[in-house]
Amino acid sequence: MQVLWAPWRMSYILNEDKPEGCIFCPGEERSEDEERLILHVDDHTVVMMNKFPYVNGHLLVAPKRHVPDFDLLGDLELLKLGLMVKRSISILRTFLKPDGFNVGINLGKVAGAGVEQHIHYHIVPRWHGDTNFMTVLADVRVIPEHIKETYRKLLPFFKNLKEEER
C-alpha cells in the first residue's frame, strides 16, 4: 500500500487555521505575504494561492477593496480585476504549462462561495488526466508539489508584474 501525504489539509479539515478577518484583504503590511500565500498586491487587485487547492497553481484573484458582489465594483476596478485574471492565466500558462483552465466566481454560499463577503475569481490550471479515482472514490486530491514550493516558483513572475506597471 502506498501512502499519500497532504499534511497541510488537516488544519483545513479541523478548521484550526482559520485566520481572523478577511483572507482577501491584504492590509498594508507585506511581511506575512508568504505565510498568507499572497503573490501580488497593487492598487486594485490581490492575487494569492488557494491554501487548500484543487490542483497545483490554483490561484485566487480578488479586488483589493472588500466587496461581496460585482454591482459594488466600479468600472476601473472591474477592468483591473479582469486584466489581473488575464495576467495570472498567462503566468500559469508559461510556468506550469497546463492543458486548460477552469476560471470562475462563486457568488453566494448556495453557489459554493467559501468567502461570500469578498468577491474573488478561482483560476484552476487543468491537465489531461488530472482527475482520477482518488477524487471520485476517496474525496482525496493528489497534489504533486508542496504549496510553498509552488509559491516560491510563481512569486518571481508576479514580482515582474510590479515592475511592468511602473
What's phi and psi for 113, nearest 5 deg?
-70, 120
Place of cell 477524487: 135
CA distance 60 to 96: 16
Q: Which residues of 112-148 are buried (b: 16+ CB within 10 A; e: fewer)?
A: ebeeeebbbbbbbbeeeebeeeeeeeeeebebeeebe
40 assigned to active site: no
Would you say 29 and 165 are in contact if contact means Cβ atoms under 8 Å apart?
no
Pick the catalytic residue: 40, 44, 120, 122? Answer: 120
CA torsion through residues 100, 88, 22, 36, sign: positive
CA distance 45 to 85: 10
Residues with active-site annotation? 120
